[in-house]
Amino acid sequence: MQHAPFTALAAVYDTMMDDVEYDHWADFILTYARDQGLSGERALDLACGTGGLTRELLHAGWEVTGLDGSAEMLEMARARLPQGTPLVQGDLRTFALKERFDLITCVFDSLNNLLSAEELGQAFARAAAHLRPGGLLACDLNTRLGVRELWDGDVMEGVAPAADGSEVHYHWSHTYDADAELGVVQALCRVVRDGGEVEEFIEIHRERGYDAGEVEPLLRAAGFARWEIVEYPDYAAPNEDTPRIWVFAWKDEA
């Protein structure tokens, strides 16, 4: 049965993504922020999903609010994160919170789910509006190359044991729609529960790649004062073979 993106997937997401390096990503972001003199203690984690990066920021001593468009992913985050962690359902393009933050994060190519430069610009503008003066946006984006060549062989598959004794059999296939300039992932999951019960579902995910030259005018239009676009993990300048870029954008102090 086909489901909307990040709905049925939420229940098995952490089982399949157990090896994602949220801790290293958090260190990468916070090291940059510290070295650049960022002060403050309040963070907003956009597209927080099940709370992987949110948890690492909390462990580092930040007061964190998580925001995601999927009610199902937020339900998993509530079970994973400390009780009382603020979690809000909202759209990256239109969210409006009363608070302002010192740091805003958005990782794991979440912004690539915005399928036009206009939508990405809207998300940057909302982030800028929610930063205090001198605040920092830290996010990553798959480049056009990264979306075209997402995985070796265009397939990711395996079996992941879950904590409840079930097994998650997954087969994710990737194609690239050159006319639309979109990467398309068909995520097929088959959950085999203890006792033999089987649940199967499919989600279709689409991403657009963005190169550094496309991102910079959008940051400028959104009101950021300065930015740096780098590679992980060494903060080197990206090149034509870079599959994923990291953006650090600062709001003006004024």
Q: Where are the domains of the chain?
A: 10-143+209-251, 147-207
* Residue 144 to residue 198: CA distance in whole angstroms: 37
Residue 91: its pLDDT value, please? 98
- E strand map for 195-238: 198-207, 224-230
Q: Quick one: DSSP state of residue 47?
A: T
Residue 1: its pLDDT value, please? 81
Is pLDDT of 195 > 80? no
- E strand map for 8-56: 42-46
For the chain, the residue count is 254
State pTM to two decimals. 0.97
* Residue 185 to residue 142: CA distance in whole angstroms: 14
Residue 4: its pLDDT value, please? 97
pLDDT in tens, 18-42: 999 999 999 999 999 999 999 899 9
Helices (H), 36-179: 52-59, 71-80, 117-129, 144-148
CATH superfamily of domain region 147-207: S-adenosyl-L-methionine-dependent methyltransferases (2.20.25.110)
Cα–Cα distances in Å, from 126 out to 46, 137, 177, 218? 11, 11, 29, 12
Residue 12: its pLDDT value, please? 95
Residues 6+ apart with CB under 8 A from 197: none
Cα–Cα distances in Å, from 46 out to 27, 103, 155, 203? 17, 11, 28, 21
The domain 10-143+209-251 having CATH identifier 3.50.50.60: the answer here is no
pLDDT grade, residue 224 (50/70/90)? very high
Which residue carries 């990467």 as its tokens?
183
pLDDT in tens, 90-103: 999 999 999 999 99
Angle at 235 between CA 233 and CA 238, to 5 degrees: 100
Average pLDDT over residues 189-202: 91
Q: Do domains 10-143+209-251 and 147-207 have the same CATH topology?
A: no
Cα–Cα distances in Å, from 207 out to 4, 115, 121, 144, 218? 14, 6, 15, 10, 18
pLDDT grade, residue 163 (50/70/90)? confident
pLDDT grade, residue 233 (50/70/90)? very high
* Residue 90 to residue 18: CA distance in whole angstroms: 25
Is pLDDT of 253 > 90? no
